Chains A and B, each alone.
Chain A
């Protein structure tokens, strides 16, 4: 093989692999990406029931109710709108009323949200940034920095 042919083989292989990779990425982008919405977004937008989305906000105070078995009902709010959520499983340690939460699942035809994954993070003061940003837009939440009073030298 001449140097030119060798280079041809090399470049050809690179192009094939790159092409396959780009194809895979584009294909995956179409189907496996999950959008993040707040209850207000969902009220405003037409979201097809069954489409996987993430819903974020605060767990409404007084809304957590346990059914028989391991199903839990609660409501997620961003101050403007409230969306009822059902979830079957074990809630994370820091799931609490009044705290920020991100749930993943799909809207049901009856307008409730069926979550199969609930994320609450490992920090008392934690607020998922998506939630914080949405709540800031609505003017409900301000940055409550617990260390603000600490005097540093």
Chain B
């Protein structure tokens, strides 16, 4: 009964979404405000209905109702409760319901909190948002119904893929979807602006917080996925340039660019057409991500079950939305007014450079991801484009961007002074040069790019601090005065500094672990030792242990450093009986120097085991950096000048802040 209620609610939601798509557009065309206002209750009702469906599916999972096909295929009564719940979105059908739920949530938020938006704009935005919901609800109802029943109901379920039974992965998809789907807001606003042929600063004022929120979630979602891959897959790597990883990384790159161009549009009323285009591109890349993951054209841990019908359907959705929005753009963009002027050396100029490098590097990732698919479709030849390609293309494009980042916030709007900015960055330059020289002197090993990378990371961190120091007039006024100024800086300034410093921290982690990682592969009998990065590891043999829904073979290692005991690590191999599958659990010891990472391999003839040991220097900084970027976004979002729903009240303040505090 509950499953049928959920299914019914989904179909009702589809009906409501159709209303939400059609009536407001007619209303704005006919200048009928009552018809346009239908969009508000429709968006709210659609959200409630999708909620009902999602709750129904969750109840089926929690109560282990195996008469529902989807639950039977992806759950098991012996599974811990958290994975019963995360099992809801650990499969294709359920994750689509989550996707639509988040989409409807964003729509309902615009309906509920958008009372200060121009009526026409709000109605158009909700209509576009409704059309996306129609497409995906139709997709669920036609090809991916999660509420199908099986008769007779099996006694127990088939379980969830064991590698997915993990706390970080339980929350990886919701964050990722909040990011992907969050960009639909920017898309809906862009298309709404094109439909009406007009766009103003109020538009950017609305788009920016939504984009920022989506970007934050995507940042955290990608970081969680990478962290999971690092400790769960047992390869010791954190990023594999796997097509599905790229599918989430491309919207992130485009979204980062959008975040910065929306800033220019909000503050300076410039780059309008470009911002609209970027909003369309960003969401198109999100849609493409959904297609790549769900169509079965890719092989990956992430790829859901192959079903050609679904692939074709999503391809259709993509064609309609991407093709439609680009056609609309080509038709209507010339009617959008041109914005303010600026010199090449200015804050705007710096942000244009940011956008240029981000979109071009995104294009390079795009080529590397899709070229193998295109080649196979055309010539039948199968190739794989892996890390070497991306290291050769993406990394060189990122270096100038990272070098330019600290300059941006130090340049004034309209016309900046590059020399003055460079002078302010002297400290950052000295610190990073000193670090480079120190590393060159002490580390002969490692690639020649490594010292440069560490220097870049420090340049970003000290550069971010420089911005705060400059804005608080440190060294120019008394310490008390500059402390007062520092406290009164807008939160957006802190957000920017925090996110840019986070990027620097991440660069340090990436460079450290890529350049100076050490690896040993050994055959060890119990009592055998292996030395790595100053640690001595002693293998203590294996023993069997029983977990809640698995059996494991655990091989403890005692770790010492210079004769002092450090810790005991217990890597293991788990066998999940229900899913008939095995996973490798790495033993990881983390310190600020880096991670010690042990993987237990296969048993050998002489009673020993093959063992793989890594030392990954500074690897934690990668995720710490991502967390800082997330927090920076959050701090910036909490700035009242940016607060969702408060643009009108904040407006007079903003203008005074613009003239008083915002140009350093």
Contact = CB atoms under 8 A, between A and B. Distances in A.
Given A28-B393, A33-B384, A36-B384, A89 B584 contact: no
Nearest to A91: B602
A129 to B, nearest CB: 6
Contacts of B301: 121-122
Nearest to B415: A1
Nearest to A34: B384
Interface in A1-43: 1, 3, 6, 9-10, 13-14, 17-18, 20-21, 24-25, 27-29, 31-36
Interface in B353-387: 353, 356-357, 360-361, 363-364, 367-368, 371, 381-386
Contacts of B582: 93-94
A110 interface: no
Contacts of B664: none
B343 interface: yes
A151 B368 CA distance: 42
A24 B364 contact: yes
Interface in B168-227: none
A69 B353 CA distance: 53
Contacts of B356: 13-14, 17
- The DSSP consensus for interface residues of chain A is mixed
A81 to B, nearest CB: 17
A123 interface: yes
Which interface class (under 10, 10 to 19, 20 to 34, 35 or more) fits A?
A: 35 or more
- The DSSP consensus for interface residues of chain B is mixed
A21 B364 contact: yes
Most buried by B among A3, A24, A35: A24
Contact of B393 (A21, A122, A152): A21
Which interface class (under 10, 10 to 19, 20 to 34, 35 or more) fits B?
A: 35 or more
Given A32-B388, A91-B602, A122 B367 contact: no
A152 B388 contact: no
Contacts, number: 134
Interface in A72-102: 72, 88-91, 93-94
B338 to A, nearest CB: 10
A150 B150 contact: yes
Interface stretch (B117-125, B420-428, B433-441, B604-612): B604-612
A10 B161 contact: no
Contact of A6 (B150, B343, B363, B389): B343
A70 B581 contact: no
A21 B363 contact: yes
Contacts of B357: 17
A30 to B, nearest CB: 10
Contact of B344 (A10, A70, A124): A10
Contacts of A94: 581-582
A147 interface: yes
A66 interface: yes
A90 B612 contact: yes
B382 A88 contact: no
B292 to A, nearest CB: 13
Nearest to B573: A93
Contacts of A150: 69, 150
A26 B318 CA distance: 28
B148 interface: yes
Given A33-B383, A36-B382, A152 B69 contact: yes
Contacts of A25: 364, 367-368, 393
Given A72-B602, A124-B579, 6 more contacts: A6-B344, A21-B397, A29-B389, A93-B582, A121-B301, A130-B299
